[in-house]
Amino acid sequence: MKTLTKIATALPALALLSACATTAPTPTAPNTPTTPTTPSTTTPASESVTDAAYDRMAPAPYTCTDDSQILAKQSINKKQVMLTATLPKVNWSEQPIILNGDVKGDTASYVNESNPEVVYAWHMTGDKGILAMKWADGKEYQVDCKIGRS
């Protein structure tokens, strides 16, 4: 009788766990483009995922030159940042970018060099940020940002 009581008590918890279970996403083929980096190039899928831990706080909103907007969220260990960039001059709308780096003193610097077509850099200090991009053909683009919405 005690075993039956234990099973009856555990059933609601098992039902809840079963309802929360999800299936793993289907992996894409290696080197499948998933995210545009410019209107004419793409970013490999490896840049669109992260294994760093992030808290559940909302990303910090930045208002930038050229009517650009950036949402920036650092990983808990500060070794990675996820940006969502809206850059009208580059034809980006809510473009995700993952960059790796570190914090030294009051300055955080992150870089993503995994795409041979373009290198991204994001630097933050105080309430300011700078997103810079340099393409393989030598073209450069930079926006200066300040935390807060316009």
Look at residue 87 and tell me if it is in a domain. yes
Alpha-carbon span 67 to 138, nearest angstrom: 24
pTM as predicted: 0.65
Please report whether residue 14 resides in a domain: no
- CA-nearest of 109, 97, 111 to 42 is 97
pLDDT tens digits, residue range 76-106? 999 999 999 999 999 999 999 999 999 999 9
What is the residue whose two structure tokens read 């807060």? 148
Please tell me whether residue 12 adopts helix, strand or coil conformation: helix
pLDDT tens column, 120-129: 999 999 999 9
Is 141 domain-assigned? yes
In a domain, 5, yes or no: no
Q: Is residue 26 part of a domain?
A: no
- How many residues make up the chain in this entry? 150
CATH of the domain at 62: 2.40.128
Residue with tokens 């990303």: 59
67 forms bridges with which residues in the sheet? none
Q: What is the pLDDT of residues 55-75, one digit of tens each?
A: 778 899 999 999 999 999 999
Task: Evaluate whether residue 23 is within a structural domain.
Answer: no
In a domain, 12, yes or no: no
- Give the total number of structural domains in the chain: 1
Stretch (H or E) spanning 118? strand 118-125
Task: Find the domain containing 37 and state its range.
Answer: 33-147
For residue 26, report the phi and psi dihedrals to the nearest 5 degrees: -75, 125
Task: Tell whether the model's pLDDT for residue 23 goes beyond 90.
Answer: no
Task: Examine residue 118 and state whether it is found in any structural domain, yes or no.
Answer: yes
| Interval 106-122: pLDDT, tens | 999 999 999 999 999 99
